[in-house]
Amino acid sequence: MAPVNTTLYLDHAATTPLRPEARDAMAPFLEAAFGNPSGIHAVSREAKAALEDGRERAAALLGAAHPLDVVFTGGGTESDNLGVAGPSLASGGGVVTSAVEHEAVLETAAFLGRLGKSVTVVGVDANGVVDPAEVASAVGPDTAVVSVMTANNETGVRQPIAAISAAAREARPGVLIHTDAVQAFVSEETTIGSLGADLVTLASHKFGGPKGVGLLHVRRDIHLEPVLHGGGQEIGRRSGTHNVAGIVGMVTAMEAAAKDRDRFRTDVLVARDTFEARLSAAAPEVIFTTPVEQRLIQHSHFRVPGVDAETLLIRLDGLGVAAAAGSACHSGAAEVSHVLLAMGLDQKAAGSSIRVSFGWTSRPGDGEAAAAAVVECVEALR
Ligand SMILES: Cc1ncc(COP(=O)(O)O)c(C=O)c1O
Protein residue with least CA distance to atom 4, ligand 1: 76
Decide whether any atom of ligand 1 lies within 6 Å of the 102 Cβ.
yes
pTM of the model: 0.97
pLDDT in tens, 248-306: 999 999 999 999 999 999 999 999 999 999 999 999 999 999 999 999 999 999 999 99
Protein residue with least CA distance to atom 13, ligand 1: 329
pLDDT in tens, 19-74: 999 999 999 999 999 999 999 999 999 999 999 999 999 999 999 999 999 999 99
Burial class (CB in 10 A: 0-12, 13-18, 19+), 117: buried
Which is nearest to 16 in space by CA: 301, 255, 211, 269? 211
Decide whether any atom of ligand 1 lies within 6 Å of the 182 Cβ.
yes
The CA–CA distances, whole Å, from 286 to 122, 152, 337, 371 equal 29, 21, 19, 12
Q: What's the confidence (pLDDT) of residue 335?
A: 79
Q: What's the confidence (pLDDT) of residue 329?
A: 42
- Domains of the chain (ranges; CATH) run 8-16+260-381 (3.90.1150.10), 20-256 (3.40.640.10)
Q: What's the confidence (pLDDT) of residue 6?
A: 76
**What is the C-alpha to C-alpha distance for residues 38 and 215, in angstroms, rounded to an integer?**
18
Instruction: Please report, in angstroms and rounded to a whole number, the separation of the first and last CA atoms in the chain.
Output: 37
Across the chain, mean pLDDT equals 96
Decide whether any atom of ligand 1 lies within 6 Å of the 180 Cβ.
yes
**Distance from Cα 216 to the centre of ligand 1, integer Å:** 13
Q: What's the confidence (pLDDT) of residue 216?
A: 98
Q: What's the confidence (pLDDT) of residue 327?
A: 47
Residue 293 has what DSSP assignment? G
Pocket test for ligand 1, best of 182, 187, 205, 207 (most atoms within 8 A of CB): 182
**What is the C-alpha to C-alpha distance for residues 382 and 373, in angstroms, rounded to an integer?**
14
The reply to whether 329 belongs to the active site is yes
Q: What's the confidence (pLDDT) of residue 334?
A: 61
Catalytic residue among 58, 84, 186, 329: 329
Q: Rounded mean pLDDT of 139-147?
A: 97
Decide whether any atom of ligand 1 lies within 6 Å of the 188 Cβ.
no
Q: What's the confidence (pLDDT) of residue 331?
A: 47
**Distance from Cα 326 to the centre of ligand 1, integer Å:** 13
